[in-house]
Structure 1
C-alpha cells in the first residue's frame, strides 16, 4: 500500500516524498481512511510508529478541501499533555502541510501568552495546545470554537495522570457537541476507555500493536547496583562503553540537577529538562541534544513523551518510573520507526516492586547484569515472571565469586535463607530471557567443633568497589 492509494491530495504526497516517507505504517493504513471518512477513532500503537501522521495527514487533507477559517476561529484542535509533545505535533503539522494554504499554531504555558493571542486573531486551521493554556486563551476571548470540526486527544492517558481531568471537562463543555473526536495513545487504561465511551460516537478501533508493549527493536537490560552507587556507575558505563548520545531519565527534578552537575564537573557535555526549567531553556536543551552539542540529556518523565530524536541509540533509566506504563514511553524514545535501540535500567533493591510491575506490564522478565566493582551490597531479589514465580535471568562476570554482603535470598519467598542454606544459582540466559527452576534449599553442612573457618569479609569487596570508582572518576587536576 502507498500513501497515494489512501487518496491523499497531491500537496500532501509531495511533502511526504520530500520527507522520505515511502509507505504508510500499520497504524496509518488503518487510521487515515477512517479519519478521511469523518469517523470517530480510538487508536493504540507503540511510540515511534507514526501515530501523529495517522491523524495529521487526513485532517490536513479535509481542511484543505473544506472551506476557510474565520477570525478567532479554530477548525481542528489537538490537545497534548506536555509542552514538548505540543511542539512536536505542531512541527509535524507544519512539515506535512508545507504545501497547503493552512494556518497552524501552538499554545502552552511557561511562555508569554501575547504572541499566542496575536496569532489567533486571524484564526487557525489547526491549534495544538495544552489544556491549561487553551482555557486561559478562551477565558480571555482570544478564540472561539464555533467552527471546530475535529478534536484530537494525543496521549490522553498522560493528561489524566498529570491531573488534567478538570481542565479536560471544562474544554469538552466549551466545544460543539457535533464534532469528530480522535483518541491516539500508546496505552489505553480503563480510565481512558471510560472517557472514550463518553466522548466518541460509534468509533473505529485501531490496535496496531499489543497494548503496553515495548518495541521489539529495543534491547532491554537491567544492571543491578546499590542506590548510592548509581551516579558513579552511570559515569563508568558512559566512559567504558563509549556512549556518544544518551537520554537519561531520573525520578525527581533534584535528582536530574544533581546528575547533570556531576557530569559537568567531569567535563561531560550534559543538560537537563524538567518542570522547573523555563520553556525556552527546555527547548534549547532539546535542540542542543538533537544537534549532538550535548552528549547526555537528563530528564524527568516530562520528556517521556513528545521527544522525537532521530536515531537515538540509547535510553538509560537512572531511576525506574513509579508508573509502569511510563517505562514503555521512556524506552520508546529509542528504536523508533523500525530502527534498533537499547534501553538500560539501573535498579537498586528498593525498586524491586517497580521492576516487577514493569515486567508484568510488558510480559517479559528483563535480563540482568552486574558490573564489576559496582555489585549491589543489597541484592535485588528475583522478580520471577508475570505468569508464575521463577528466578529472573541474571548474568554475572565469569570467574568473580561474591564475597560478603547480606544473607542470601530465597527467590521463592523473598526472605533471608536459613543459615548455611544454598541459594539456587541463576542460569546464564541463552539469547533472550531465561528462567531458573525452583531449587529446594540444601541442609547446612555440619562443621566439627573446634574447626577454624576463614571467610572473606566485606573489606575485599569494598576495596574493589573503591578501585572501580576511582577509575570511573579520575582525580581532577589542581
Structure 2
C-alpha cells in the first residue's frame, strides 16, 4: 500500500490529508487517483464506505490548483452531481476540508433551500459546484449559472441517479458543459444501464473495480429475523434495548412509516429522530448533525439516507422494511462498518417480503443467516437460501447476548457496568 505522498499530489493536498488524519489510500483511491491525475476518464466501482469521495476529489482539486485564474461570474470549473441533498452536503464538506487554506471555492445547490441565496452565491463564480440535478436545472433555466467553463465532471452514485430518473436531467445538463473535459463516474453497483451511461458520457475510460457489484463490506455481520408485520415494533424495541448507547440507523420503506415509527420510539423513551422526503432540508441536516454528535442514537430514515450518511460511528443498521430495490439493501447496510470498523446489519422479513429477501440474496450471492423466526412454507420457499444458525458477532443485536470469556454479558462496559439497560427519557425528534 502506498502513502498519499507517493501519489504525486500537490503539497497543499498532502498537508490537508495529514491534518485530517489520512495516511494511506484505500484500494479504490490507490487505483483511481494516479489514472485521474493523468487526465483519464474514470469508471469507478466500489462498495459504499470505501472512500470514493477522495478517489475523485483529490485528483479533481489537484487539477484545479494547477489551473490559473479565478472562475468568472456565474461559472464553475468543475461539476459534481449526486442524487440526494445529504450526499451533496457530505461531498462538499469533505472537499472543503481539503481546500481549506487554498484559493479554491466549493459551492452547493440542492432543493429545499433558498434558491435566491444560491443565485447570489453563484453570481461570484465557484471552482467546484456540487449539485443535485433538479435544482441545478432550475438555476440553469433562470440563467443563474453558466456551465460552459466546466472541464471536470463527476457523477457520484450514478446508479441511484438512474433509479431516480435523473438520466433525463443529465441529458439536459451535459450539452451545456465545456469541452474537452474529464469525466469520472463512480458507483457501488453496475446495472446494465450503467454501461450505456458510461458509453454516452465517458471517453476511453479506465475501469477501476475493487469489489464485485452487490457485495457488502467484509466487516458487516448480517442476520435476518422472520416475523410478521405486527410483531416488528416489539422486536425492534427488544433489539434496541440491548445496546442503548450505540448509534443505530433504522430504515423504513415509506415517509409516513418512518415518521410513525420515530414518534412511537420517542413516546417509549428512545432517543430518536427521523429524516425523509417530507422533512425540510434544515430538519434533515439538524437530525444528521445530532446523530453524528451522539445527541440522538436512533435515526429512522427512508432511502434518502441510504447513501447520504457517512458517520463512522454507526454500529447497527436495522432494515425494519426490506427495500423494493435489492441494490438499496447494499447501500443501506453500508452505513455501518465504515472506515475499517465492524458493524452489524439486521433485517426484518415478513411473508410479504420473502421475495424481496430472495432478490437481495441473489444479488449478493449469499444466504443471510437467520437470527430468529420462521416463515410459512410458501413464503419460506420464496426466501430459500436463508439458513438457520445466525452469524452473530460477539452476542450482538442479531441474537441473544452471548457470554464472553469472563462470563459477562457481551454488551457490558469495562468494570462490569451494564450498558444502557434502562431506556433514556431524553428525546430529540427532528423538528
Is the TM value for this pair above 0.5? yes
Task: Report the Cα offset of residue 197 of structure 1.
Answer: 0.6
**Alignment-derived partner of residue 39 in structure 1:** 40
Deviation >3 Å, runs of 4+: 240-243, 375-385, 428-431
Does structure 1 conserve the Cα–Cα contact (< 8 Å) formed by 2:76 and 2:127? yes
Task: Report the Cα offset of residue 383 of structure 1.
Answer: 5.4
**Alignment-derived partner of residue 50 in structure 2:** 49
Classify the secondary structure of the residue corresponding to 2:107: strand
**Alignment-derived partner of residue 188 in structure 1:** 190
Does structure 2 conserve the Cα–Cα contact (< 8 Å) formed by 1:365 and 1:384? no
Task: Report the Cα offset of residue 377 of structure 1.
Answer: 7.5
Does structure 2 conserve the Cα–Cα contact (< 8 Å) formed by 1:260 and 1:298? yes
**1:146 aligned to 2:140?**
no
**1:238 aligned to 2:240?**
yes
Q: How many equivalent pairs are there?
A: 394
Gaps of 5+ in 2: 394-421, 424-431
CA separation of 1:196/1:377 partners in 2, compared to 1, >3 Å: closer, same or farther? Answer: closer
Which residues in structure 2 correspond to 1:49-198 (within 5 Å)?
A: 49-68=50-69, 69-198=71-200
Query: What is the CA–CA distance in structure 2 between the aligned matches of 1:336 and 1:380, rounded to whole Å?
Result: 37
Query: What is the CA–CA distance in structure 2 between the aligned matches of 1:332 and 1:358, rounded to whole Å?
Result: 14
Does structure 1 conserve the Cα–Cα contact (< 8 Å) formed by 2:358 and 2:385? no
**Alignment-derived partner of residue 290 in structure 1:** 292
Query: What is the CA–CA distance in structure 1 between the aligned matches of 2:353 and 2:123, rounded to whole Å?
Result: 51
Superposed CA deviations along residues 255-274 of structure 1, whole A, max 9, x for unmatched, are 10111111011111111100
Query: What is the CA–CA distance in structure 1 between the aligned matches of 2:378 and 2:338, rounded to whole Å?
Result: 30
Aligned-pair Cα RMSD in Å: 2.0
Which residues in structure 2 correspond to 1:193-232 (within 5 Å)?
A: 193-232=195-234
CA separation of 1:301/1:391 partners in 2, compared to 1, >3 Å: closer, same or farther? Answer: closer
Query: What is the CA–CA distance in structure 2 between the aligned matches of 1:301 and 1:242, rounded to whole Å?
Result: 24
Task: Report the Cα offset of residue 430 of structure 1.
Answer: 11
Task: Report the Cα offset of residue 391 of structure 1.
Answer: 5.4
TM-score of the superposed pair, with normalisation by structure 2 = 0.88
Does structure 2 conserve the Cα–Cα contact (< 8 Å) formed by 1:348 and 1:376? no
Classify the secondary structure of the residue corresponding to 2:279: coil
Query: What is the CA–CA distance in structure 2 between the aligned matches of 1:295 and 1:30, rounded to whole Å?
Result: 36
Gaps of 5+ in 1: 396-427, 432-471, 474-478
**1:18 aligned to 2:19?**
yes
Task: Report the Cα offset of residue 223 of structure 1.
Answer: 1.0
Superposed CA deviations along residues 276-321 of structure 1, whole A, max 9, x for unmatched, are 1111000001101111111210000010001001221110000000
Larger RCO (alpha carbons 8 Å, 6+ apart)? 2
Superposed CA deviations along residues 124-174 of structure 1, whole A, max 9, x for unmatched, are 000000001111111111111221111100011111111212211101122
**Alignment-derived partner of residue 282 in structure 2:** 280
Does structure 1 conserve the Cα–Cα contact (< 8 Å) formed by 2:247 and 2:314? yes
Classify the secondary structure of the residue corresponding to 2:310: coil
CA separation of 1:430/1:181 partners in 2, compared to 1, >3 Å: closer, same or farther? Answer: closer
Query: What is the CA–CA distance in structure 1 between the aligned matches of 2:381 and 2:338, rounded to whole Å?
Result: 28
**Alignment-derived partner of residue 450 in structure 1:** none
Query: What is the CA–CA distance in structure 1 between the aligned matches of 2:244 and 2:146, rounded to whole Å?
Result: 53
Classify the secondary structure of the residue corresponding to 1:233: helix
Q: 2:353 aligns with which of 334, 351, 355?
A: 351
CA separation of 1:345/1:191 partners in 2, compared to 1, >3 Å: closer, same or farther? Answer: same
Task: Report the Cα offset of residue 378 of structure 1.
Answer: 4.6
Does structure 2 conserve the Cα–Cα contact (< 8 Å) formed by 1:43 and 1:184? yes
Query: What is the CA–CA distance in structure 2 between the aligned matches of 1:363 and 1:94, rounded to whole Å?
Result: 38
**Alignment-derived partner of residue 386 in structure 2:** 392
Classify the secondary structure of the residue corresponding to 2:77: strand
Does structure 2 conserve the Cα–Cα contact (< 8 Å) formed by 1:12 and 1:99? no
Classify the secondary structure of the residue corresponding to 1:394: coil
**Alignment-derived partner of residue 266 in structure 2:** 264
Task: Report the Cα offset of residue 177 of structure 1.
Answer: 4.0
Query: What is the CA–CA distance in structure 1 between the aligned matches of 2:362 and 2:32, rounded to whole Å?
Result: 29
Does structure 1 conserve the Cα–Cα contact (< 8 Å) formed by 2:367 and 2:385? no
Q: Which has the larger radius of gyration?
A: 1
Query: What is the CA–CA distance in structure 2 between the aligned matches of 1:41 and 1:377, rounded to whole Å?
Result: 45
Classify the secondary structure of the residue corresponding to 1:76: strand
Classify the secondary structure of the residue corresponding to 1:210: coil
Query: What is the CA–CA distance in structure 1 between the aligned matches of 2:367 and 2:141, rounded to whole Å?
Result: 50
Query: What is the CA–CA distance in structure 1 between the aligned matches of 2:228 and 2:148, rounded to whole Å?
Result: 57
Classify the secondary structure of the residue corresponding to 1:336: coil
Task: Report the Cα offset of residue 325 of structure 1.
Answer: 0.3
